[in-house]
Amino acid sequence: MVKEIAVVGCGGWGTALATVLAHNGYVVKMWSFSEEEVKNVNKYRENRRLLKGVKLPESITVSTDLKEVLEGKDFIVLANPSQHQREVLSKAKDYIDPSAIIVNVAKGIENNTLLRMSQVIKEVIPECRNIATLSGPSHAEEVGRKIPTVVVVASENRGILPIIQSTFMNEYFRVYTNEDIIGVELGGSLKNIIALAAGICDGLGFGDNTKGALLTRGLAEMTRLGMKLGAKKETFSGISGMGDLITTCMSKHSRNRYVGEQIGKGKKLKKIIEEMVMVVEGVKTTLSAYELGKKVEVELPITVEIYKVLFEDKDPFVAVKDLMVREAKSEFYWL
């Protein structure tokens, strides 16, 4: 049984998961790139910038020293934003034991390479074999306050799944297992694009009819791309697919939904991002998914319109109209 765990990334999600692990009796060492953040978290026992109000137990410490945090650990949680994962891993790889269990919790697809996070880890540290991804409807604000939450952990190495499951699981944080890491990673990433669209609908003043249609067709779009890339269809009706999609599209905590709402109200993306403290994964993921769709020749109408709204300054109302007047189709034409 692992006694000491490394969490690389001191954002809201990394901090929330550290509290879960500390609650389960583990000593947790966290890494942050920010000296100021390390000083404040260790002093106040709270991540006041990203998870205000959640007190951290003494078994959690934070450092800017990757070697100190990682060396000798056989269980590592990677909680960096997806577009920074490669950069941080490149600095950390000399301190990571190739036999360690590595659990990615970032939700995104790397720009340019179009790789999922487990693929990025394999590319940077090819000798690592115990790689998994944990995903699902899990806002840090709720997990940090011990609100009942259900997630799923996936890996190609089925042998490590029970270890990860038992390490995280407790009375308020339930963990299921899944061997379809492609589907779990894509579900957690692509739903952020649909959440941007959901926010746009809210900002434009549309109603429940629109939101219900968006979630349904968004899930179909996620599934269509996922199956083309080797994922299992059923994964998208599960925790990391439908579960995370509903939560992210509906929640007041959803950063992606919030950004979409502001765009729907007429604000520009650059201004919105400048005013935010936390990373909005869906914006960069839209770029990757748009390119992936073209690369593997999969029709992604919602993603394409969100891309045009975000990066070509298309009027959101026109984007919705263009989706509504597309060529008539059978509901399940893509199966």
Domain spans of the chain, in order of start: 4-179, 182-324
- The per-residue pLDDT string of the chain (335 residues; one tens digit each, 9 = 90 and over) reads 558 999 999 999 999 999 999 999 999 999 999 999 899 898 899 998 889 899 999 999 999 999 999 999 999 999 999 999 999 999 999 999 999 999 999 999 999 999 999 999 999 999 999 999 999 999 999 999 999 999 999 999 999 999 999 999 999 999 999 999 999 999 999 999 999 999 999 999 999 999 999 999 999 999 999 999 999 999 999 999 999 999 999 998 899 999 999 999 999 999 999 998 778 899 999 999 999 999 999 999 999 999 999 999 999 999 999 999 999 999 886 65
Residue 209's CB is within 10 A of a number of other CB atoms, namely 9
Can you give the pTM of this predicted structure?
0.95
The amino acid at residue 291 is E
Radius of gyration of the chain (CA): 19
How far CA 40 is from CA of 43, 51, 88, in Å, comes to 5, 12, 22
DSSP 8-state class, residue 109 = B
304 forms beta bridges with none
Q: Given 29, 107, 191, 308, which residue is catalytic?
A: 191
> Which tokens hold the place of 91?
């600095």
43 is catalytic: no
Pairing mode, if any, of strands 60-63 and 131-135? unpaired
Task: Answer whether CATH 2.40.50.180 is correct for domain 182-324.
Answer: no
How far CA 17 is from CA of 8, 24, 194, 257, 309, in Å, comes to 11, 11, 25, 22, 34
The amino acid at residue 54 is V
CATH class of 4-179: alpha beta
